Structure 1
């Protein structure tokens, strides 16, 4: 029995048949459908009609019409469910092929071979310049004040449907930290580094439009750096970057600075008063010298915790500045036993 994938023009002598194709190469975007024209201007008998579509570079069988039906089992695996005939048009001499979900590797030349009775003909169709996966990000550096929300832009310029995106990841490249992950058609916030968990999110309604920008909430000074949006789709990958820099001071930061200056200033003022006052009043001023700066610095570190989120350091420092006045109050009953100058 003859192998249905064997080119018939190699096994029998046939008269030439005029088969028409496109006037030039076909250009189509990645992920779209493209029609490869192939037709004859004469009526052919359906009996013994066979049509083959093959890759010219490798003789890979893309589609086969034989014995009045498409022979899907003879197709190369990569073209299953992607290469189709217009079945109703075959009787009119139209053997064009629709290739769905176009991939970058589909670029190349295809041969449409038509066998009818003792006639044979072919035409060549070329697919070129398949649009690559293009990802664009922020064109300029992003500036913000600490505590504000910012948007890191990432848009995919292609005709790929959201279901065909294998993975989209946001990473902070200078520290190799995973910020947010989109995979299997869903966002995976639990995969984010703890520094970004609950602070970063996709614009879910925009994903069907190829928009994978993220909102970063309550920006901190440690967030400054380079972020990369990497997209994997259709066996291809591309990326874009966004740079977050020049983080300005927020109102809370300014308050922290004021409190730091106030703590230092109060300490200097009390030292001057102690030097100028009598010894009895100096004792009270020394108590204030121990209490006032510590209370001010306690408030300073509480505000610092709100702005930067370093709660471990904040708790330790606050505990230190609370313990100092408490230790002084605990020692107060014994101050009368100290020798006076």
Structure 2
């Protein structure tokens, strides 16, 4: 019967005189963090002729090796250089655990710890699973603004990803299969000169918010031609993710004032008539007529509120 990996990990493997211990279940850690893969014995082993080998079980890739009294970093696979290391001072106490830094999604999988001590040997399996992916979120609704105003396009990176692990953030306008670079953040710097000419000196990040993973874009002095779809794309290690924000048709200040005056003309008379009929009902005592008239004058503005989004979509 084939046993699943998580069962194998919970088993203590006995090999010719010493017991090699591993974790009781899979290891879960955030992207970019460090994780310790446990592998240890209950009592110290002789350091002479001791060999500890960590490998990926899916590919036999050598993650790290301890041999001849020292860590042999020069023989480990390139992807693990400067990322995988032993607790060297603990090996003499029987602790052969491996620390893996800057965790990536590709690090998910099974790892085998093999220990050779003179004539004895043993191994255990450790699984890393569910490394958190790169998550980028923006605004769920379209953004609108008046010509000449400033507008904020939202883009946030999952809080588990620290800024030093973010290699690049780019804002692009992606209308009609044409990408226009709006602003670029790369190697912990905002590259203002990278912006397309039509956006230069009009876009910026909220610098104080970047350490929190907030890469929202401020677009200043909005123009009519700024309408369209904007994409915020984030690169961290071998991962990338993006979100999009839609900047809707922009209203001029004059159009906005006309619309405001129009709504006032609809609401104000109806509200005044509603109040007048309430007072009339109180003083004259015509209950049913008052209720009917009040309902009529309160339903009119409510109907306008209901149809307002459709009027906006139609360009009113």
Is contact 2:224-2:249 (8 Å) kept? no
Aligned length: 242
Question: Which protein is bigger by CA-based radius of gyration?
Answer: 1
Unpaired segments of 5 or more residues in structure 2?
1-14, 259-316
Name 1:305's counterpart in structure 2: none
Which one of the candidate residues 233, 246, 251 is aligned to 1:248?
Answer: 251
| 1:184 corresponds to 2:177 | no
Say if 2:106 is the partner of 1:69: no
* Structure 1 residue 160 displacement after superposition: 3.3
2:202 corresponds to 1:199: yes
In structure 2, what is the equivalent of residue 137 of structure 1? 138
- Please name the residue that 2:240 is paired with: 237
**Alignment match, 1:219:** 222
Question: Could you list the runs of 5+ residues in structure 1 that have no partner in the other structure?
Answer: 1-13, 256-341
The separation in 2 between residues aligned to 1:108 and 1:248, in whole angstroms, is 53
- Matching of residue 26 in structure 1 with residue 31 in structure 2: no
Q: What SS class does the counterpart of residue 193 from structure 2 fall into?
A: helix
Check conservation: 1:31, 1:158, Cα contact below 8 A.
Answer: no
Q: Deviations over 1:172-213 (max 9, x none)?
A: 111421111112221111111111110000111221222111
Q: State the secondary structure of the residue aligned to 2:245.
A: strand
CA separation in 1, counterparts of 2:151 and 2:191?
A: 20
Please report the TM-score for the alignment, with normalisation by the length of structure 2: 0.73
Q: Which residue of 1 aligns with 2:268?
A: none
Q: Distance in 2 between matches of 1:43 and 1:187?
A: 52
Residue aligned with 1:88, SS: helix
Q: Secondary structure at the match of 2:65?
A: strand
Name the structure 2 match of 1:78. 79
Q: Does structure 1 conserve the Cα–Cα contact (< 8 Å) formed by 2:159 and 2:212?
A: no
Q: What's the CA shift for 1:161?
A: 3.1
Instruction: Write the deviation string for residues 205-262 of structure 1: whole angstroms up to 9, x where unpaired.
Output: 221222111101111121111100011111111100111114232159869xxxxxxx
- TM, length-normalised to structure 1: 0.68
